[in-house]
Amino acid sequence: EKQKLKRIKTTAATTLDGTTVELHANIELPQDIEQVKENGATGIGLFRSEFLFLNRDTLPDEDEQFEAYRTVARKMRGLPVTIRTFDLGADKNLDSAKRVAANPALGLRAIRLCLAEPQMFHTQLRAILRASRYGQMRILVPMLSSVAEITQTLHLIENAKQSLRHEKLLFDEKIQVGGMIEVPAAALCLDIFMRKLDFLSIGTNDLIQYTLAIDRADDSVAHLYDSLHPAVLRLVAHIIRSANRTGVPVTVCGEMAGDILFTRLLLGFGLRLFSMHPAQLLTVKREVLRSNLSDIIPLTQKMLKADDPAKIQALLAKLNS
């Protein structure tokens, strides 16, 4: 079975009716690149850079971060590498952020923490920029909920660039900056966000959590965490459709992208770029290779109009049959 899948490693992910999609990989550390290569990903859609922080007491300094990002860029040999800026929570190991939040998921996490800790953010931005000349690097900002956060982030990126110019250090002047769409507020005013961002990445893990008000880490409500809730389907479809209409590249990098239960659903919504754990990549590709967009689209349109969960389940089963 595994051997069979390996045969499609270098095959383009093209549907039966001729639409090709890109399959990128999510990584946590530079050593994950090996698995990425084994599974034939055509880029890194999500490097969860906060993993550089785990199991240690001190922050990784600029040079250490630079080495990590450069290693990934070099090993990907010109393929896109998307570095997500730190998605650290209020409970993580920064002293200044150590107050215990009552609702960490709603607290000082991700971009909020980075904007509150500009020195830490500046260090990371400089490291990413310095590594950007060794490949096709992109910056991805997590958990955006307001345009002001984008404006501030772009300003800090410009500051970091300016500091490198002063030191005559080279970087990709045109590095793209994208945003994670994982807070409903961002999804609902996507038009405003898209004016300021080069690309979007849908974080379905958090988008589902925040849309349904279900803590993704709380087992007692896990049965209510529903990727097929009509609100989730409509939001995800809306984001993909708006981005496609505006011509802004859009990815899904949450768990939905790596689950073959949802491959056809997302194709039908118009998704053409998926990013997932490398171990899931070839099974998703096999699913794409077996799919026909002209069969899928009418069913996904029906799913968006369905009101009854049983009806949505039945349509999904038909879609995947």
Name the residue nearer to ligand PEP (CB basis): 13 or 46: 46
The angle subtended at Cα 206 by Cα 81 and Cα 260, nearest 5°, is 70
What is the DSSP annotation of 242-298? HHHHHT--EEE-SGGGG-TTTHHHHHHHT--EEEE-GGGHHHHHHHHHT--HHHHHH
Select from ligand PEP, Mg ion, none the partner in contact with residue 44, using the beta carbon and a kind-dependent cut-off of 5 to 8 Å.
none
Name the residue nearer to ligand PEP (CB basis): 123 or 227: 227
Catalytic-labelled residue, pool 81, 127, 150, 253: 253
Contacts of 65 (CB under 8 A, 6+ apart): 49, 52, 123, 124, 127, 128
> Does the annotation count 253 as an active-site position?
yes
184 exposed, middle or buried (CB, 10 Å; 0-12, 13-18, 19+)?
middle
CA distance 93 to 170: 31
Select from ligand PEP, Mg ion, none the partner in contact with residue 172, using the beta carbon and a kind-dependent cut-off of 5 to 8 Å.
none
| Position 259 contacts ligand PEP (CB under 6 A) | no
| Position 239 contacts ligand PEP (CB under 6 A) | no
CA distance 288 to 67: 35
205 is in an annotated binding site: yes
CA distance 253 to 220: 25
- Provide the mask over 179-208, with x wherever binding to ligand PEP is found by CB under 6 A and - wherever it is not: ---x--------------------xxxx--
321 exposed, middle or buried (CB, 10 Å; 0-12, 13-18, 19+)?
exposed
84 is in an annotated binding site: yes
Count of residues in contact with ligand PEP, rule CB under 6 A: 10
216 is in an annotated binding site: yes
28 is in an annotated binding site: no
Name the residue nearer to ligand PEP (CB basis): 160 or 239: 239
Residue 87: CB minimum distance to ligand PEP, A = 6
Residue 87: CB minimum distance to Mg ion, A = 6
| Position 268 contacts ligand PEP (CB under 6 A) | no
Structure tokens at 94: 């920064």
Contacts of 57 (CB under 8 A, 6+ apart): 93
According to CB under 6 A, which one of 32, 47, 48, 138 is a site residue for ligand PEP?
48
Q: What are phi and psi of 174, to 5 degrees?
A: -100, 25
Collapsing DSSP states into helix, strand and coil, what is residue 172? coil
Q: Segment contacting Mg ion (CB under 5 A): 33-41, 122-130, 176-184, 290-298?
A: 176-184
Which residues sit in the known binding site for phosphoenolpyruvate?
A: 48, 84, 205-206, 216
Catalytic residues: 253
Which residues sit in the known binding site?
A: 48, 84, 182, 205-206, 216
Chain residues binding ligand PEP by CB under 6 A are 46, 48, 87, 182, 203-206, 253-254
